Chain A
Amino acid sequence: MVGVTHYLVLSAAVFAIGVFGILTRRNALLFLMSVELMLNAANINLVAFSLHYGNLSGQVFALFVMALAAAEVAIGLGIILVLDRNFGGIDVTVPTTMRR
């Protein structure tokens, strides 16, 4: 039987992969994907608990999170485009002008 614990382990694993991606990758597109992974890890949690408790609210929230993730991607892609235009690439270690 697949219980809520299994879903939580899966979700934690996906979240950890996302964090790892953010901390190690230099490509901005991979950054964005890692963020998506983390968001969806949270989604898995929401859906799992919704199932566990027999309450649909969690699933509704998961839908909302997906919509938000779509919006976030739109903005993130915009930022990446500007990054490419201003710094000639999408390596996130190159722009350090925010320092001062």
Chain B
Amino acid sequence: MTGAFDFAPAIALLPLAAFAVALFGGNYLPKRGALAGITALVGSLVLSIWALVTVAGGETYDADLYTFVAGQDTLSLHLGILIDPLSALMLVIVSLIALLVFVFSLGYMNDEDETGLPRYYAELSLFSFSMLAFVFADNLLMAFMFFELVGLCSYLLIGFWFREAGPSSAAKKAFLVTRFGDYFFLVGTVGIFATFGTGMFAGSESFPHMAEQALAGEHSVRTFLGLGEQAWFTVLGLLVLGGVIGKSAQFPLHTWLPDAMEGPTPVSALIHAATMVAAGVYLVARMYGFYLLSPTALGVIALVGGFTALFAASMALVKQELKQVLAYSTISQYGYMMLALGGGGYVAAVFHLTTHAIFKALLFLGAGSVIIAMHHNENMWDMGGLKDKMPVTYYAFLSGSLALAGIFPFAGFWSKDEVLYETLIHGFGGSPLLLAGYAMGLLAVAFTGFYTFRMVFLTFHGEPRTADAEDPHGVRWNVKLPLAVLGILAAVAGVINLAPVEKVTGIHLTFLHDWLDMAPDSFGTAVHHYTGDHGLMHEFAGYTAAHPLGETGTVLVGAAISLGLALAGAGLAYRLYAVPSPTEHTDKLGSLKTLLMNNYYQDEYQVWLARDVTLPLSRAADTFDQSVIDGVVNATSSVSLFAGERVRRIQTGLVTHYATLITLSLVALLVVFGYLGGWF
């Protein structure tokens, strides 16, 4: 009998086919290849939903597709598919967002008469293919391969308008910065293969499971560098985390993401909502069983996440371009997900990943719609008063903004609240480090509320400040449809996991928790295996939950604090910017504003690192190579040359002389042998 899983490879292969079609036949197709992509993504979405439904029926799938290195008594490398609740959910998200981005591109690219569209659609299809294959990868090596492909596609798409200086340099920056992180990921992958002999994510032969057994003393593995098992697993986890920090734009490798705004806006939506940036967080969730074994790695994840959430949110406060604000909010929101993962909130992280994918795609597509209307001017100070002229965009954007700011009852409120709640209770349960992460996350909530509504008010409210804002360019159905779909989802997607309501009323509402818990025990990826009473989190990470005000009280107070801070931020934005002719208030921040506008001089710092530290270092290495290493080699050869030049003189060409030399040498040899042999 054929089921959904027999078609699982097609989920990724359909966009690959669309890539080929758009690349080679795009010029001859009616919409320059868009229709091929849309058809393929519809197919992927249908198959993903079918897989989701099948998983809901209690079935999971883990199969090898193709073994490219078959090892005997050693590791073998293969491509395989793992479909469990986590990957099934992610497949649906990715294919849904990608489909909507394709539709939106019809309005953003085709209607604007851009050139190079077949290339655009081909790259977009390849991007979807890479991400979908990354999501259902069943081993670390396959994940790494598609992780890299995703990076390549983002390079191609960010640099889509490669004839201009900005996009091409932004593309290079994105590629190099993420490559820097991926280097650590590669080392970590090799380390995991060397340690466990496998890179499988799930099952009894998987590396998280083997690591767990090793720590429990049931099984021994080979460690390196003379480290104990615990310490070595921490090193491996942190190495892989390097790739995650690069791709998910966490501090200090976040600098590529704001520059990536140079790409077409639909691409930004895809990169920031569902694919590239999500890949990092998804990878941590995928191998969460491994990270739970190392409290140190978890602490690093939580601190990096909490710090990034606050750090990026503070930079978003003063930005003038619409997409820049969204870019920093993306970094900040992924910081929340990392905070949740580090704080033991596996479900919370996946929940926030889901809702963020929806509302951030919505916000970017909304921004795209505004940018079309404003004739590709992105400066918010040139907008204003767009509310009445583009109502669909406005209401959808507002829905996304409310979700981003975490205002009750929009999707973002539920997920962000759960992230903070999980961090808080585990922080009180004996991990004070998490409380620091919690405090940073909480402060970032207020910042988020402020910058989100500053953006909304500047863009849509008040009086139009330029001629373009007076008379915006209209947008068609292909822009409005994705906005409407996502706008509704952003408002209601929170219902999949109403954990606070469940805790207060007792009605069972945590559907996402149940869903992720459905993974079979043999996979070892279910929630109860991670964070249940006897799960890894208690056994190995040492996290326990404590409710200082009782369970209900903690839930309510935590939610009230974060909602209050979000409303306070939004209220401040309302007071300052919801006036007919808003003025810049950022100057009141004084030198802090300069610091924020310059992104804490992170770019300058990295340029300094490259130019004033790395470059002299490489120059010194080059000098060493040219003088010492090459010097030794050249000296050796010159000795031979010189000696040869001298010895050559005895070659007279006269046979008699040669015979003399031979005879004399023979005599000399005899004398030497005789002397050594004691004849004399």
Contact = CB atoms under 8 A, between A and B. Distances in A.
A8 B652 CA distance: 35
Interface string A1-40: 0000000000000000001001100100001000000000
A100 B652 CA distance: 9
Contacts of B659: 22-23
A92 interface: yes
Given A92-B656, A93-B656, A19 B651 contact: no
B660 A92 contact: no
A78 to B, nearest CB: 16
A92 B655 CA distance: 7
Contact of A23 (B651, B652, B656): B656
A57 B49 CA distance: 95
B663 interface: yes
A23 B653 contact: no
B654 interface: yes
A99 B663 contact: no
Nearest to A97: B653
A97 B651 CA distance: 11
Interface in A19-68: 19, 22-23, 26, 31
Contacts of B651: 98-99
Nearest to B651: A99
B653 A95 contact: yes
Contacts of B654: 92-93, 96
Contacts of A93: 654, 656
Contacts of A26: 656
B659 to A, nearest CB: 5
Residue from the set B652, B653, B660 with the largest chain A CB neighbour count within 10 Å: B653
B655 A23 contact: no
B652 A99 contact: yes
Nearest to A22: B659
Contacts of A96: 652-654
Interface size class of B (residues with CB under 8 A): under 10
Contacts of B653: 95-99
A58 to B, nearest CB: 22
Interface in B151-205: none
A10 to B, nearest CB: 20
Nearest to A99: B653
Interface residues of A, number: 12
Contacts of B663: 19, 22-23
Contact of B660 (A23, A31, A95, A98): A23
Nearest to A26: B656
A68 B344 CA distance: 92
A23 B654 CA distance: 11
Nearest to B659: A22
A23 to B, nearest CB: 6
Contacts of B660: 23
A98 B654 CA distance: 8
A46 B655 CA distance: 29
A39 to B, nearest CB: 15
Contacts of A95: 653, 655
A23 B664 CA distance: 11
A80 to B, nearest CB: 12
A97 B660 CA distance: 19
A17 B656 CA distance: 15
Contacts of B656: 22-23, 26, 92-93
Interface in B635-680: 651-656, 659-660, 663
Nearest to A19: B663
A99 B663 CA distance: 20
B253 to A, nearest CB: 65
Contacts of B655: 31, 92, 95
A66 B656 CA distance: 25
A23 B655 CA distance: 9
Contacts of A22: 656, 659, 663
Interface string A68-100: 000000000000000000000000110111110
Contacts of A97: 653
B29 to A, nearest CB: 73
Nearest to A24: B656
A26 B663 CA distance: 17
A27 to B, nearest CB: 11
Contacts of B652: 96, 99
B157 to A, nearest CB: 66
Contacts of A92: 654-656
A96 B653 CA distance: 4
A26 B651 CA distance: 18
Nearest to B664: A23
A59 B652 CA distance: 40
Nearest to B663: A19
B41 to A, nearest CB: 77
Nearest to A96: B653
Nearest to A34: B659
A34 to B, nearest CB: 9
B520 to A, nearest CB: 84
Interface string B398-412: 000000000000000
A75 to B, nearest CB: 15
A31 B651 CA distance: 20
A56 B127 CA distance: 89
A24 to B, nearest CB: 8
A68 B237 CA distance: 77
Nearest to B655: A92
A19 to B, nearest CB: 6
A13 B655 CA distance: 23
A99 to B, nearest CB: 3
A99 B651 CA distance: 6
A95 B657 CA distance: 12
B665 to A, nearest CB: 13
A8 B574 CA distance: 123
A26 B659 CA distance: 12
B549 to A, nearest CB: 101
B59 to A, nearest CB: 85
Given A26-B656, A96-B652, A96-B654, 18 more contacts: A22-B659, A22-B663, A23-B656, A23-B659, A31-B655, A92-B654, A92-B655, A93-B654, A93-B656, A95-B653, A95-B655, A96-B653, A97-B653, A98-B651, A98-B653, A99-B651, A99-B652, A99-B653
5 contacts: A22-B659, A23-B660, A93-B656, A95-B655, A98-B651
In the A-B complex, the 7 residue pairs with the closest CB atoms: A96-B653, A99-B653, A92-B655, A98-B653, A22-B659, A23-B660, A93-B654
